[in-house]
Structure 1
Amino acid sequence: MTDVAEVTMAAPTVDVQPGGRRWQVGPVWAGVVAIGLVVSGWTLVTALKLVDPLYLPSPAAVWDAFVRANSRHTIANGVDRVVIGEQGYYLWEHLLASMQRIAIGVGAAILVGPAVGFLMGMVAPVRWVTGPIINFLRALPPLGYIGLLIVWFGIGDTSKIWLLFLAAFPPIVIATLDGVLAVKPDYLNAARSLGANRAQVVALVVLPATLPQVISGIRIATAFAWTTVVAAELNNGIPGIGGLAYISGTQLNTPLTIACIIVIGVAAVLLDAIIAAIGTKVVPWKGKS
Structure 2
Amino acid sequence: MSLTQAARRTTEPARKPPERSASSTPAGPSGTNSRLLALRWLALRAVALVVLLAVWHLVVVAEVWPRVLVPSPGDVWHAFVQASTTHDGVRGYSGHLLIEHLGVSLRRIGVGTGYAVLVGVPLGLVIGVVKPVAVVLEPAVTFLRTLPPLAYLSLLVIWFGIDESPKIWLLVIAALPPVAAATAAAVRTVPGDLVEAARSLGGGPLTLLLAVRLPAALPEILTGIRIAVGVAYTSVVAAETINGVPGIGGMIRDAQRYNQTDLVIAGIIAIGISGIALDAALRGVERAAVPWRGRT
TM-score by length of structure 1 reads 0.86
* 1:51 and 2:65 are equivalent in the alignment: yes
% identical equivalent positions: 43
What pairs with 1:51-130 in structure 2 (closer than 5 Å)? 51-74=65-88, 82-130=89-137
1:187: Cα distance to partner? 1.6
- Decide which moves more: 170-179 or 180-189: 180-189
Please list the CA deviations of residues 153-175 of structure 1 after superposition, one character each: whole Å capped at 9, or x if unmatched: 00111100000000000000000
In terms of fraction of residues, the more helix-rich structure is 2
* 1:237 and 2:244 are equivalent in the alignment: yes
1:212: Cα distance to partner? 0.6
SS of equivalent to 2:94: coil
| Partner Cα separation in structure 1 for residue 41 and residue 141 of structure 2 | 37
Q: CA RMSD in A?
A: 1.7
1:49: Cα distance to partner? 2.6
Which residue type is aligned with residue 256 of structure 2? G
Residue in structure 2 matched with residue 268 of structure 1 by the alignment: 275
Please list the CA deviations of residues 174-226 of structure 1 after superposition, one character each: whole Å capped at 9, or x if unmatched: 00001001111122223334444434332332111111111001110100111
* 1:29 and 2:56 are equivalent in the alignment: no
| Partner Cα separation in structure 2 for residue 197 and residue 237 of structure 1 | 49
Of 54, 64, 71, the residue aligned with 1:40 is 54
How many residues align? The count is 262
Residue in structure 1 matched with residue 199 of structure 2 by the alignment: 192
| Partner Cα separation in structure 1 for residue 56 and residue 96 of structure 2 | 29
Which residue type is aligned with residue 288 of structure 2? K
Of 211, 216, 232, the residue aligned with 1:209 is 216
1:68: Cα distance to partner? 0.4
Question: Considering only CA atoms, is the larger Rg found in Structure 1 or Structure 2?
Answer: 2
| Partner Cα separation in structure 2 for residue 219 and residue 51 of structure 1 | 37
1:26: Cα distance to partner? 4.2
**Structure 2: which 5+ residue stretches go unaligned?**
1-29
Please list the CA deviations of residues 115-144 of structure 1 after superposition, one character each: whole Å capped at 9, or x if unmatched: 110111111111111011111111111000
**Structure 1: which 5+ residue stretches go unaligned?**
1-9, 14-22, 75-81
* 1:182 and 2:196 are equivalent in the alignment: no
SS of equivalent to 2:96: coil
Of 161, 167, 178, the residue aligned with 1:171 is 178
